[in-house]
Amino acid sequence: MPGNSFGQAFRFTTWGESHGPAIGCVIDGVPPRIALAEADIQHWLDRRRPGQSRFTTQRKEPDTVRIVSGVFEGETTGTPIALTIDNVDQRSKDYGDIKDKFRPGHADYTYWAKYGVRDYRGGGRSSARETAMRVAAGAVARKVLEHVLPAPVTIRGALVQMGPHRIARKRWDWDAVERNPFWCPDPQAAQQWETFLDGVRKAGSSTGAVIEVVAAGVPAGLGEPVYDKLDADLAKAMMSINAVKAVEIGAGLEAAKLSGEQNADEMRMAGERVRFLSNRAGGILGGLSTGQDVVVRFAVKPTSSILSARKTVDRFGRETEISTKGRHDPCVGIRAVPVGEAMMAIVLADHLLRHRAQCG
């Protein structure tokens, strides 16, 4: 009932605060006899790691993962996989300001309202640092998909909008994603964003973003009607990422504007397999995967940590102001890309195992 676990058959639980000694997770339900090494996880963590460009927080965390249980002689044993990452860059600093004041847009006030106490150092448990463990669990989930399915599932994410600036979909190039610091699939947009984000950064401001995650190769029939629909669980997964304010599947909000004729993807055969002539559904009908690409988008709000002073109150009920000093992400959406990919992998792995339970 408490909220720090996700998934049912592939189930992980995370722990740790931004400025505690370490963060970690326990992944339960992983099939046995999957080859798994720390490097398999580190690869994905490195993609999310802060401080890799001037556009992400300058916190220096090597984010070195350790497997402390569940793997024996290079293989998963079916017992819980425990992972830990030590927190290295916990700069000693004076927390005086955020100790008592609630930063607008952050979880400071709500944690205090809920618990009557909060670890104010770097946001404590509400810090985006927690998402490192999602990426680690996602790396294991990818291994599960690979192990269980006969054909590969490819999960890729991209930033498709930064602030008001969208990519041109006709220029979409997955290879481009790895060649700019924004995971942008449109090289032209990437250039534009660089200028835009430098401006934002220098102004001590921040901006929002939209991320799209696409999973190709997902077999038809994953998902559990009617409450644990695949899209319902994806919506939960993505909305649970820090700062996310909207989740779309396929046509998403645009679906509201369409007519039934435009929206319902027609079907033909491609040999033995069903082929859809379009994918407005985003690969999901009735909460179950169709076999097409599963397409999810989510919107990330601008980082609430900004240099300008903002009106707030403190825990003593006094009105005051606060501004954020020091490092932060001008567009926290950038680092959300690997996190969104990870959550996609986790939801798919979970539903794959759940499907196997009932349907063999």
Which residues within the stretch 212-241 sit at the binding site for a copy of itself (CB under 8 A)? 220-229, 231-240
Here the tokens at position 42 are 């580190």
> What is the SS3 string spanning 26-95?
EEECCCCCCECCHHHHHHHHHHHCCCCCCCCCCCCCCCCEEEEECEECCEECCCCEEEEEECCCCCCCCC
Q: Which of 286, 285, 282, 284 is nearest to 298 (CA)?
A: 282
Question: Among residue numbers 47 through 66, which ones bind a copy of itself (CB under 8 A)?
Answer: none
Residues 6+ apart with CB under 8 A from 254: none
Q: Which stretch binds a copy of itself (CB under 8 A): 42-50, 54-62, 185-193, 278-286?
A: 278-286
Cβ-based nearer residue to a copy of itself, 156 or 280: 280
Question: Among residue numbers 184 through 203, which ones bind a copy of itself (CB under 8 A)?
Answer: 200
Smallest gap from residue 68 Cβ to a copy of itself (A): 5
Taking CB under 8 A as the rule, does residue 338 contact a copy of itself? no
Q: Which of 213, 104, 210 is nearest to 163 (CA)?
A: 210
Cβ-based nearer residue to a copy of itself, 175 or 256: 256
Provide the CA 82 distance to its chain's centre, in angstroms.
20
Question: Among residue numbers 86 through 105, which ones bind a copy of itself (CB under 8 A)?
Answer: 102-105
Residues 6+ apart with CB under 8 A from 85: 22, 23, 24, 45, 61, 63, 64, 65, 66, 132, 133, 136
Cβ-based nearer residue to a copy of itself, 175 or 226: 226
Smallest gap from residue 60 Cβ to a copy of itself (A): 21
CB 191 within 8 A of CB 165: no
Report the residue count for the chain.
Answer: 360
Taking CB under 8 A as the rule, does residue 261 contact a copy of itself? yes
- CA atoms of 259 and 335, how far apart (whole Å): 36
- CA atoms of 103 and 106, how far apart (whole Å): 6
CB 109 within 8 A of CB 123: no
The CA angle 145-151-152, to the nearest 5 degrees, is 55
Q: Which stretch binds a copy of itself (CB under 8 A): 54-62, 178-186, 188-196, 301-309?
A: 301-309
Q: Which of 39, 150, 151, 311 binds a copy of itself (CB under 8 A)?
A: 311
Cβ-based nearer residue to a copy of itself, 145 or 222: 222
Cβ-based nearer residue to a copy of itself, 175 or 358: 358
Q: Which of 141, 176, 214, 251 binds a copy of itself (CB under 8 A)?
A: 251
Q: Which of 52, 77, 154, 192 binds a copy of itself (CB under 8 A)?
A: 77
Cβ-based nearer residue to a copy of itself, 81 or 141: 81
| # residues contacting a copy of itself (CB under 8 A) | 154
Cβ-based nearer residue to a copy of itself, 195 or 259: 259
Smallest gap from residue 86 Cβ to a copy of itself (A): 10
Taking CB under 8 A as the rule, does residue 287 contact a copy of itself? yes
Here the tokens at position 12 are 């992980």
Question: Among residue numbers 101 through 160, which ones bind a copy of itself (CB under 8 A)?
Answer: 102-107, 109-111, 113-119, 124-126, 130, 148
Residues 6+ apart with CB under 8 A from 184: 158, 159, 162, 167, 176, 177, 190, 193
